Amino acid sequence: MTEYASKQKRLSRILAIIALVAWLILLRPFPITTFLAACVSCVLYPWYERLAERFSGIWPTAIYAAGLFLVTALPIVVVVMLVAPQAVNGLTILDQIMNSDWFRRPEIQSLIATIDNWIKELPGLEGGLKQIAAQMAGIAGTAARTVLTSSLELAGSALNGLFVLLLFVMISVMCVVQGAVIREFSLRLSTFPDDMLGRFITAIRNAVRGVLMGIILVAMIQGFLCGLGFRVAGVPQPAFWGLLATFVAPIPFVGTSLVWLPAVIWLWFAVSKTAAIGLLLWCVLAVTSVDNVLRPMFLKTGINATFVALILSILLGMAAFGPVGIFAGPVAVAVAIQAGIESTASDASYKKMD
């Protein structure tokens, strides 16, 4: 009986490997979409279970699919309908500022010289303010063109974007509907105990939730607050600059200041000192506070690691995998931490048995 059970176990694992290879072949052209859909499904699976408890038939699946589609499509619609038209004018203004003699005005040069002398005294910043300003302008220009290009590509490739969005929703629906089957499949493939696999799934779920809340949601809040401040202060194309602030918000240490600090300087010398002071106070007290308070809180809640380690995992993940590394890096760290915890617990149990 033991030998028969052992053969059945080996056969079950072989079949599981065959099934995994078949799915990898099918989903191979869409690795990023598949990974993101799996991550989102891991977070939303408890919500789907609640829907399944309250509704019967196809209603839980239909509600889940419709809700996920709307939540995913809404930001895309906002970019295409609201931001894309402003992106053309915003990018034109940015190029005009970069190519004009505005920076050569005496009062600007005096301010730059004062700050430049102070910055040169700081370790590692011997290049001074001009070097930092050039780097910031380069980042802002690249980000602006990325936003514009992505928006135009999205508008020009609507069918392809719709296909990827539908594929994302369908994969996510398949993952939550077949959640029990996938769990059993993972148990056969890994031979983990059920409770251990559950702890790994919880660690991954918490990591993805932490990234969604601490990076994506916080960046969107900061971008909205920046856009609101730009609107009140009289900065042209506030929606475009707000979206640009959203894109640069995850950059450690500088974040949205890459966008609102040049806007404050422009308002001070070109429009109104009162508007510049108001925008500066708004960005320092409201926008920066969101980053300093909410981001560490959400990330620390999701992953049991230091904030520096979490930021490093995001940066290294983006360097290795591109934008999807925002999720891949923290997920890898969460899995590594949980593996270390399980290893320590296993060693302790073995020592007790000895």
pLDDT tens, 88-130?
Answer: 555 555 555 555 555 556 666 666 666 666 656 655 545 555 5
For residue 200, pLDDT over 60 is answered with yes
- What would the mean pLDDT of 284-303 be, rounded to a whole number? 81
For residue 142, pLDDT over 50 is answered with no
Angle at 226 between CA 131 and CA 110, to 5 degrees: 35
Q: What is the pLDDT of residue 152?
A: 45
Q: What Å distances lie between residue 258 and 77, 112, 253, CA to CA?
A: 25, 16, 10
Q: What is the pLDDT of residue 281?
A: 92
Q: What is the pLDDT of residue 217?
A: 85
First to last CA, the chain: 29
Q: What Å distances lie between residue 266 and 114, 234, 288, CA to CA?
A: 17, 11, 20
Q: What is the pLDDT of residue 116?
A: 62
Q: What is the pLDDT of residue 327?
A: 81
Residue 121 amino acid letter:
E
Q: What is the pLDDT of residue 164?
A: 78
Range of the domain at 63: 34-346
- What would the mean pLDDT of 182-201 be, rounded to a whole number? 80
| Residue 17 lies inside a defined structural domain of this protein | no
| Residue 13 lies inside a defined structural domain of this protein | no
| Residue 290 lies inside a defined structural domain of this protein | yes
- What would the mean pLDDT of 300-311 be, rounded to a whole number? 74
Angle, in degrees to the nearest 10, between helices 325-353 and 307-321: 120
H helices within the chain, ranges in order? 2-27, 31-54, 59-78, 84-99, 106-119, 128-156, 158-177, 179-190, 194-211, 218-233, 238-248, 257-266, 273-282, 288-302, 307-321, 325-353
Angle at 310 between CA 195 and CA 260, to 5 degrees: 140
State percent of the chain over pLDDT 70: 69
| Residue 43 lies inside a defined structural domain of this protein | yes
- What would the mean pLDDT of 24-38 be, rounded to a whole number? 84
For residue 295, pLDDT over 70 is answered with yes
For residue 137, pLDDT over 50 is answered with no
Q: What Å distances lie between residue 76 and 84, 97, 166, 170, CA to CA?
A: 10, 29, 13, 18
- Which of the residue ranges 83-87, 169-173, 232-236, 331-335 would you say has the lowest mean pLDDT? 83-87
| Residue 14 lies inside a defined structural domain of this protein | no
| Residue 19 lies inside a defined structural domain of this protein | no
Contact 36, 168 (CB under 8 A): yes
Question: Which residue in the block uniquely carries the two structure tokens 């934008």?
Answer: 323
Q: What is the pLDDT of residue 225?
A: 92
Q: Which of 124, 150, 159 is nearest to 244 (CA)?
A: 150
| Residue 70 lies inside a defined structural domain of this protein | yes
Please provide the average confidence, as pLDDT, over all residues in the chain.
75
- Confidence band of 56 (pLDDT split at 50, 70, 90): confident
Q: How many domains does the chain divide into?
A: 1
For residue 268, pLDDT over 80 is answered with yes
Measure the CA–CA gap between 269 and 110, rounded to whole angstroms. 12
- Confidence band of 63 (pLDDT split at 50, 70, 90): very high
Measure the CA–CA gap between 197 and 180, rounded to whole angstroms. 13
DSSP 221-248: HHHHHHHHHHHHHT-SSHHHHHHHHHHH
- Confidence band of 140 (pLDDT split at 50, 70, 90): very low
Measure the CA–CA gap between 142 and 150, rounded to whole angstroms. 12
| Residue 23 lies inside a defined structural domain of this protein | no
Write phi, then psi, for 125 (nearest 5 degrees).
-120, 40
Name the token pair of 245: 């602030």
- Tell which wins on pLDDT, 167 or 239: 167
Long-range contacts from 176-179, C-beta under 8 angstroms, 24+ separation: 176/41, 176/44, 176/45, 176/48, 176/64, 177/48, 177/61, 179/41, 179/45, 179/48
Contact 263, 283 (CB under 8 A): no
- What would the mean pLDDT of 218-231 be, rounded to a whole number? 89
